[in-house]
Structure 1
Amino acid sequence: MTSPTPTPSPLPAETAGENLPVCVIGAGPAGLAVARALSAQGVDYVHLERHSRVGGLWDIENPGTPMYESAHFISSRTVSGFSGYPMPEDYPDYPRHDQILSYLQSFADAYGLISRIRFDTAVSDIRRDGDAWRVTLADGSHSRHGQVVVCTGSQWHPFSPEIPGSYTGEVRHSVEYRSPSLFAGKRVLVVGGGNSGCDIACDAARTADRAVISLRRGYWFIPKHVFGVPSDIVGGKGSFLPKPLERAILQPMLRLLTGDPTRLGLQKPDHKLFETHPVVNSMLFHHLQHGDISARPGIRRADGLTIEFTDGSAEEIDLVLMATGYRHRVPIAQEYFGDEQHPDLYLNCASREHEGLFGVGFIETNSGAYHLFDRQAHLIAAFIAGSRRGTASAAEFERLRRADQPDLSGGLHFDASPRHRGYVDADAYVKYVTKLSRRLGWPLEARGPEPRRTRDRLEAAV
């Protein structure tokens, strides 16, 4: 049972100067990480969230979330928690969406973040206002802030390509998908080979009259477990190696584990392992092997309910579900963030062009995201705190923000698709940020909360 939400303090009055409070927008995983880091640095901030509770997209009741009933984390709990606050040991290897939500609620409670959040408070616009930022709410009120950290997330604005021809069946994007009951009695085509697309196709395999998945290209599919251990833990054992060498070891292993994908109707990967976002899924191959799902290449055209694919095959389809990804839109400040697919942010978190503007949650990488959000949050908080004290380390970061162009590829050549523009290798990213933080004398991660976290806290947050 959730305790009553404390009444937050009002927005600050309009004042001038560099010591105006920071504004954190969004109370999902990224926003919570930022709030904790600012608190640890003693930086005053205002925290705004349009929904009625924390969790962001992991709250399936949050309007517009892409969450669905069968969703699980694709990185294992062992490597997925925030620093100083690991996920409970009795969580499964890959927690369900409701367990992730409970973890986030518990995290916010343990660090005293909830009382600082103004819930049901939507932001309509942010704008540069002299030496500060003006944040305008949906109700028309506004306030000025020294810095703004946008943590609104990257999976709210679906990308849905047109189907060539004249398809007369039902078309939906995966952002609308919640339950396999949607597929009952229908012939279903899932378009897209990302992690959500594969999950949803497996739901269709168990519910639909016929389930088909369409992939424009071949991908490397990584099983969730290798030798009974989560695959990101097995892969992590080799992360000290240069990425090309690690790939030379893992790529043949994957071929042995999964076999020839073309035998199941999938296309052979046209790229090397790690060059596209990893697809971590064990069930798709299972359903393909049992005939529960049929694999097809890209769509050529449609005529009525008939969809023809690029190999000449055709299917009668009642429902097309587009699992074709999202644009990283920032509607409240798109003019400052620029490219919808890849905002130009230093270390994927600090605006190069606009002083005092930050964004956490827009990083595209090949690893679990929470530990990266955490490092970005500590980096931003230390910089803001240092700027207000006029430290040399803050001045050095300010110089780097404008001019530094680090190679965060880890020696990999990422795919040229829009999603992979600005993509980073997680190991290379952590290595660089760790080195930079140590050089500047800034904290790398957080310690556990005071007082200690307990199982009672987690259960109380549910």
Structure 2
Amino acid sequence: MLDTAIIGAGPAGLAAAYALKQRGLPYTHIERNQGIGGVWDIDAPGSPMYESAHFISSKTLSGFPSFPMPDAYPDYPNHRQILAYLHAFAATNGLAEAIELDTAAAKVEPTGDTYRLTRENGLTTEHAQVIIASGAQWIPNIPPLPGTYEGEIRHTVTYRSAKELEGRSVLVVGAGNSGADIACDAARAADHAAISLRRGYHFIPKHVFGMPSDVFATGGPTLPMWLEQRVFGAMLRVLNGDVTRLGLPKPDHKVFETHPLMNTQLLHHLGHGDITARPAIKDTHGTTVTFMDGSTEDVDLILLATGYRHEVPYAQELLGYDAHPDLYLTAFSRHAGLYGLGFVETNGASYVLMEQLATMIAQHIEDREQRPDRWIEFERVIATDTPDLTRGVRFVDSPRHVGYVESTALTRYLHRTARRMGWSIP
């Protein structure tokens, strides 16, 4: 019997291996880097990790359901603690010894009812199924800058430490969570720092009334989304005040309509004059950057915190060429036997969803041999079901949010689907 190939040994790949091993299903597991951990291994070539990076969801709600994070961890673990946690998960469950390290995938192609996996070293193997878990934050999105900028331009995928900013005049472009983190590094370390934002954001504090924000948010009853937006929107206005007083643009959307920005340190640095907020870039000349409001900054380093492209070069034609892979419930391909893990864009704890989805994948694979009628039934579901996973949220019009799902809506639908199929998920 042919086995399942797992590509990638970051959190998603480890979750997949755990789910398959729990059911005694054979698998082949490859990882292109020399160690496990995926993006959380700061020493892995091409990793987007940087020294000030921490989890943006709390340890309480963020670990794999089968393997909680240690009590000794802080509320928001740093990247080295997350990497240690992943190593512990792999060691405790006997996953590490089965991983072929320093082995990259070159091509995945269907061959009738199976898949051929070609490694970059030329070795090919046949598999009944393939789980693509090689991550979505490796290929930087680098938009062109207008004008003729003559200073240094880097994407934040190359950034590691605030030491790189010492003595520099820095402009950070983009205000996702990594962009906000790195802007705070620049506020502390650079000679001069500015951040350019195309739109306004709702800044969510990491603690509310002394507890992690996600713990606070899940502590009460689940409210209708329209009411939740009103309540939390009002709370943020009380906690943060009017952020336009700091030079930030007014948000053009309601709270929860973009990926949560968990960084009020940026507001602290803006309020102390350590960094200046600017709108989108209009033009550049030499080392002068002109913004849409006519203001200018003279900077010798532009750091592009402009996100990543969800590309899988070794299997792109199977996953589609849109902004996000074509995957039912963010995990099940329309090609039978092909799966993806780690591509979900949501406002919730990703490791919980990874283990739930990995468990569903493993049970679907098990059905192929042991319960073929149920396998066929779910293949029909994959091909025809189009659930609304927004929970009524109108996500902003941006490439990142094209395939965005609301965490509570996805979790509910996963459990509903599992019950329908006679499966069990954590």
Determine the structure 1 residue equivalent to 2:414.
Answer: 433
Deviations 1:240-290 (A, max 9, x none): 222222112111001000110110000000011111111001210110110
The alignment status of 1:284 with 2:266, answered yes or no, reads yes
Shift of 1:396: 2.1
**2:36 equivalent among 39, 46, 54:** 54
Corresponding residue SS for 1:415 = coil
**2:329 equivalent among 326, 331, 347:** 347
Q: Over aligned residue pairs, what C-alpha RMSD do you find?
A: 1.0
Q: Check the 8 A contact 1:158/1:175 in 2, yes or no.
A: yes
Deviations 1:414-449 (A, max 9, x none): 11211100110000000000111122221212xxxx
Q: Check the 8 A contact 1:306/1:315 in 2, yes or no.
A: yes
Determine the structure 2 residue equivalent to 1:162.
Answer: 144
Query: Could you say if the C-alpha distance between residues 340 and 184 of structure 1 is closer, same or farther in structure 2, counting changes exceeding 3 Å?
Result: farther
**2:309 equivalent among 320, 327, 332:** 327
The alignment status of 1:357 with 2:341, answered yes or no, reads no
**2:158 equivalent among 176, 190, 194:** 176
Determine the structure 1 residue equivalent to 2:356.
Answer: 375
The alignment status of 1:80 with 2:55, answered yes or no, reads no
Deviations 1:145-173 (A, max 9, x none): 00000000000000011110000000000
Letter matched to residue 169 of structure 1:
G
**2:3 equivalent among 3, 21, 24:** 21
TM-score, normalised by the number of residues in structure 1: 0.91
Letter matched to residue 369 of structure 1:
S
Shift of 1:293: 0.7
Percent identical across equivalent pairs? 54
Shift of 1:391: 4.2
Runs of 5+ consecutive residues of structure 2 not aligned to the other structure? none
**1:412 equivalent among 382, 385, 393:** 393
**Using the alignment, how far apart are the partners of 1:239 and 1:313 within structure 2?**
46
How do 1:388-407 and structure 2 match up within 5 A? Answer: 388-407=369-388
**Using the alignment, how far apart are the partners of 1:254 and 1:344 within structure 2?**
35
Determine the structure 1 residue equivalent to 2:279.
Answer: 297
Determine the structure 2 residue equivalent to 1:132.
Answer: 114
Q: Check the 8 A contact 1:222/1:279 in 2, yes or no.
A: yes
The alignment status of 1:234 with 2:223, answered yes or no, reads no
The alignment status of 1:269 with 2:251, answered yes or no, reads yes
Q: Check the 8 A contact 1:330/1:340 in 2, yes or no.
A: no
**1:96 equivalent among 78, 86, 89:** 78
The alignment status of 1:366 with 2:338, answered yes or no, reads no
Determine the structure 1 residue equivalent to 2:289.
Answer: 307
Determine the structure 2 residue equivalent to 1:449.
Answer: none
Shift of 1:340: 4.9
Letter matched to residue 154 of structure 1:
A
Deviations 1:4-38 (A, max 9, x none): xxxxxxxxxxxxxxx31000000000000000001
Determine the structure 2 residue equivalent to 1:202.
Answer: 184
Corresponding residue SS for 2:395 = coil
**Using the alignment, how far apart are the partners of 2:244 and 2:166 within structure 1?**
29
**Using the alignment, how far apart are the partners of 1:367 and 1:83 within structure 2?**
14
**Using the alignment, how far apart are the partners of 2:378 and 2:394 within structure 1?**
28
The alignment status of 1:247 with 2:229, answered yes or no, reads yes
Q: Check the 8 A contact 1:151/1:360 in 2, yes or no.
A: yes
TM-score, normalised by the number of residues in structure 2: 0.99
Shift of 1:376: 0.8
Corresponding residue SS for 1:280 = coil
The alignment status of 1:32 with 2:11, answered yes or no, reads no
Letter matched to residue 130 of structure 2:
V
**Using the alignment, how far apart are the partners of 2:237 and 2:310 within structure 1?**
33
The alignment status of 1:190 with 2:172, answered yes or no, reads yes
**Using the alignment, how far apart are the partners of 2:336 and 2:225 within structure 1?**
34
**Using the alignment, how far apart are the partners of 2:220 and 2:419 within structure 1?**
24
**Using the alignment, how far apart are the partners of 2:187 and 2:66 within structure 1?**
40
Shift of 1:239: 6.2
**Using the alignment, how far apart are the partners of 1:308 and 1:133 within structure 2?**
51
Letter matched to residue 426 of structure 1:
S
The more displaced of 385-394 and 41-50 is 385-394
**Using the alignment, how far apart are the partners of 1:88 and 1:400 within structure 2?**
38
**Using the alignment, how far apart are the partners of 2:329 and 2:229 within structure 1?**
24
Deviations 1:114-170 (A, max 9, x none): 111111111111111122100001111100000000000000000011110000000
**Using the alignment, how far apart are the partners of 2:120 and 2:373 within structure 1?**
39
Query: Could you say if the C-alpha distance between residues 238 and 297 of structure 1 is closer, same or farther in structure 2, counting changes exceeding 3 Å?
Result: farther
Letter matched to residue 165 of structure 1:
G
Letter matched to residue 407 of structure 1:
D
The more displaced of 199-208 and 335-344 is 335-344
Q: Check the 8 A contact 1:242/1:411 in 2, yes or no.
A: no
Shift of 1:339: 2.4
Shift of 1:64: 0.3
Shift of 1:395: 2.5
**Using the alignment, how far apart are the partners of 2:227 and 2:377 within structure 1?**
34
Q: Check the 8 A contact 1:126/1:135 in 2, yes or no.
A: yes
Q: Check the 8 A contact 1:307/1:315 in 2, yes or no.
A: yes
Letter matched to residue 400 of structure 2:
R
Letter matched to residue 378 of structure 1:
T
**Using the alignment, how far apart are the partners of 1:417 and 1:266 within structure 2?**
19
The alignment status of 1:220 with 2:202, answered yes or no, reads yes
Corresponding residue SS for 2:355 = helix
